[in-house]
């Protein structure tokens, strides 16, 4: 299961999930986040499973770029 593998990850983790996701329960994203090691970040977006990244496109792209900047440098 994914939760088993996330515990093995040794790099920064960004979990992105929408409370509106009708396929993957929001709680699953939160549990993955809790199981991940540090450093880790959680980004909550809006929209259903297939459109959330588009419905939240400004927040989505801004936060991914910020995350990458923090861990990869500018």
Using alpha carbons, select from 47, 63, 44 the residue that is nearest to residue 55.
47
**Given the structure tokens 């979990």, which residue do they identify?**
15
- pLDDT one-digit tens code per residue, 32-67: 999 999 999 999 999 999 999 899 999 999 999 999
| Mean pLDDT value across residues 21-39 | 97
pLDDT at 73: 80
The tokens of 1 are what?
A: 């299961």
Residue 74 has pLDDT above 80, yes or no: no
pLDDT at 1: 87
């Amino acid at each position: 299961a994914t939760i088993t593998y996330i515990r093995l990850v040794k790099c920064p983790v960004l979990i992105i999930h929408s409370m509106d996701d009708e396929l993957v329960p929001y709680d699953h994203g939160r549990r993955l986040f809790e199981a991940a090691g540090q450093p880790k970040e959680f980004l909550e977006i809006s929209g259903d499973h297939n459109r959330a990244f588009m419905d939240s496109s400004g927040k989505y792209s801004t936060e991914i770029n910020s995350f990458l900047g923090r861990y990869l440098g500018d």
